[in-house]
């Protein structure tokens, strides 16, 4: 009987062990299945989020395209572009025209649309990307408030690209030259490319129709050699005829906390109180991404002003089932758009070759050879 009791006890222990092992196995398998389920759910949500984010992007792009078509009609007709300062101004959004899905004619609630479309014909800064060396760009700087322009600020060379800092070094830029004429310290292209200078030079021709005695002047904005670890601030230089302005560029602490490494301000108040100054901007040595802003005098104080007649800023926000995307685009708003032939970089310019005959001879004119034809 004792032996039988021991056998029954062993059987019971084995049964409990099997139960515990089975239970643990079930729990582990359940946790694994649950983990896979959670991962699959996360992947599904991420995939859906990416799809909706793409839909929101295209919705914002649709808003840009719709506004661009309307703005272009005003520009082509020579009419002032109306402002759309509030979301979905009636100039640019009519009824359900901003709804993309479902069809605007459907009674179902909109799921994909551009939720806010703003059009600003007088932004407070002008931005130009990828200006090529030696290529001129005409830029009107005209105060929307018609107040006399006091200063113009030039910023160029990206310090921060979207989401990414850019490592720049200005230790190899030229040292300032005490001689401030136009030929001062502007080396040949081959020499500049061998230096360790993180930005190029900007030539800026400034003209004011209100200053008939001296309607134009030229300045060169040149990066100067700086300590890469120094902190530099923007400086203001008073405009004088034909000068080189040396600009402190810094990658660690750009002036005004902006995204551009090189920033300088020029006091243009000497141009006889003009509310419109035309710039002819030419980069040298390197392509340039440039931002331009201005201040005007108002009751003895200086204030930032909107600039009209140069660019129209379109700001569009797309929506898709809880996802938002915001895009901005600038439209050129003057007769110089895409065409540099209106204002040549030189005093005389020809679209065709010019033939010149030079004759050098000894003795008197009777022995001179006859000129050769160019054709």
**Per-chain mean pLDDT for the chain:** 79
In tens, the pLDDT along 215-274 reads 678 899 998 877 655 655 678 888 887 788 888 887 655 544 568 888 899 998 887 667
In tens, the pLDDT along 10-25 reads 555 566 777 778 888 8
Higher pLDDT, 135 or 12: 135
* Percent above pLDDT 90 for the chain: 26
For residue 104, pLDDT beyond 70:
yes
Query: pLDDT at position 152, please?
Result: 94
CA distance 54 to 318: 10
In tens, the pLDDT along 284-297 reads 988 899 999 999 87
For residue 182, pLDDT beyond 90:
no
User: Could you identify the residue written with the tokens 């719709």?
Assistant: 66
pTM of the model: 0.76
Reported as a pLDDT band with limits 50, 70 and 90, residue 366 is low
Domain locations in the chain?
Answer: 1-121+309-335, 126-308
Query: pLDDT at position 339, please?
Result: 58
Reported as a pLDDT band with limits 50, 70 and 90, residue 368 is low
């Amino acid at each position: 009987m004792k032996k039988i009791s021991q056998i029954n006890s062993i059987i019971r222990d084995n049964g409990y062990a099997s139960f515990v092992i089975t239970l643990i196995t079930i729990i582990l398998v359940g946790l694994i299945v649950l983990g896979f389920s959670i991962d699959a759910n996360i992947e599904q949500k991420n995939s859906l989020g990416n799809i909706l984010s793409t839909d929101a992007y295209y919705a914002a792009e649709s808003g840009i395209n719709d506004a661009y078509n309307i703005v272009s009609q005003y520009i082509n007709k020579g009419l002032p572009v109306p402002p759309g300062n509030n979301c979905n101004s009636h100039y640019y959004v009519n009824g359900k025209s901003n709804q993309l899905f479902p069809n605007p004619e459907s009674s179902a609630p909109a799921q994909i649309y551009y939720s806010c479309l703003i059009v600003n014909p007088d932004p407070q800064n002008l931005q130009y990307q990828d200006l090529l060396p030696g290529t001129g760009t005409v830029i009107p700087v005209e105060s929307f408030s018609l107040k006399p322009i006091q200063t113009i600020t030039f910023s160029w060379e990206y310090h921060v690209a979207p989401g990414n800092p850019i490592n720049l070094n200005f230790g190899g830029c030229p040292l300032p030259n005490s001689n401030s004429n136009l030929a001062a310290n502007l080396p040949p292209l081959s020499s500049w490319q061998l230096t360790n200078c993180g930005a190029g030079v900007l030539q800026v021709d400034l003209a004011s129709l209100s200053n008939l005695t001296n309607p134009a002047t030229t300045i060169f904005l040149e990066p100067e050699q700086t300590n890469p670890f120094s902190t530099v601030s923007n400086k203001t230089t008073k405009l004088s005829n034909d000068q080189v302005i040396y600009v402190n560029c810094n990658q660690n602490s750009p002036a005004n906390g902006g995204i551009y490494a090189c920033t300088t301000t020029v006091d243009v108040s000497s141009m006889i109180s003009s509310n419109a100054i035309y710039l002819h901007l030419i980069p040298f040595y390197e392509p340039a991404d440039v931002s331009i802003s201005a201040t005007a005098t108002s009751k003895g104080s200086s204030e930032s002003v909107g600039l009209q007649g140069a660019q129209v800023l379109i700001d569009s926000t797309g929506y898709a089932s809880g996802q938002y995307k915001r895009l901005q685009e600038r439209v050129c708003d003057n007769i110089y758009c895409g065409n540099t032939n209106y204002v040549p970089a030189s005093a005389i310019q020809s679209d065709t070759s010019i033939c010149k005959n030079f004759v050098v001879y000894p003795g008197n004119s009777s022995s001179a050879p006859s000129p050769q034809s160019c054709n």
